[in-house]
């Protein structure tokens, strides 16, 4: 997956800038850049083109999933905040 590392976002800098601002405090700019690059290459592989609006939507969805996974890991790691257990009286 070397394409994630090249950071060449020619034509997609505005996308990376918008997503970096949107996810400030959640993901660093390097992570956003990697996800924009991955979305661009993924879109190109699947559809044959990579319009900036499509790349932005794909990258945003993936960054949201990454944020949700990170939040869940933090929640599980926090003492005393284990996931609720299902019981016949209180199904989860």
pLDDT by position in tens, the chain (length 92): 444 445 678 899 999 999 999 999 999 999 999 999 999 999 999 999 999 999 999 999 999 999 999 999 999 998 765 556 655 665 65
61 lies in some domain: yes
How many CA atoms are closer than 13 Å to the CA of 5, on its beta-carbon side? 2
Torsions phi, psi for 19 (to 5 deg): -70, -35
19 lies in some domain: yes
User: What's the Cα-to-Cα distance from 19 to each of 38, 82, 90, rounded to whole Å?
Assistant: 14, 32, 40
91 lies in some domain: no
How far is Cα 48 from Cα 17, in angstroms, rounded to an integer? 24
As for how many domains the chain has, the answer is: 1
10 lies in some domain: yes
pTM of the shown model: 0.76
Helices (H), 1-92: 13-22, 29-47, 52-77
Domain containing 13 equals 2-77
90 lies in some domain: no
85 lies in some domain: no
Q: Tell me, what's the pLDDT at 1?
A: 41
């Amino acid at each position: 997956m070397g394409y994630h590392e090249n950071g060449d976002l020619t034509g997609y800098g505005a996308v990376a800038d918008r997503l970096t601002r949107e996810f400030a405090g959640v993901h660093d700019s390097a992570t956003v850049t990697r996800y924009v690059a991955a979305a661009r290459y993924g879109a190109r592989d699947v559809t044959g083109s990579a319009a900036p609006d499509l790349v932005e939507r794909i990258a945003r969805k993936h960054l949201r999933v990454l944020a949700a996974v990170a939040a869940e890991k933090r929640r599980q790691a926090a003492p005393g905040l284990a996931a609720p257990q299902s019981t016949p009286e209180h199904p989860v």
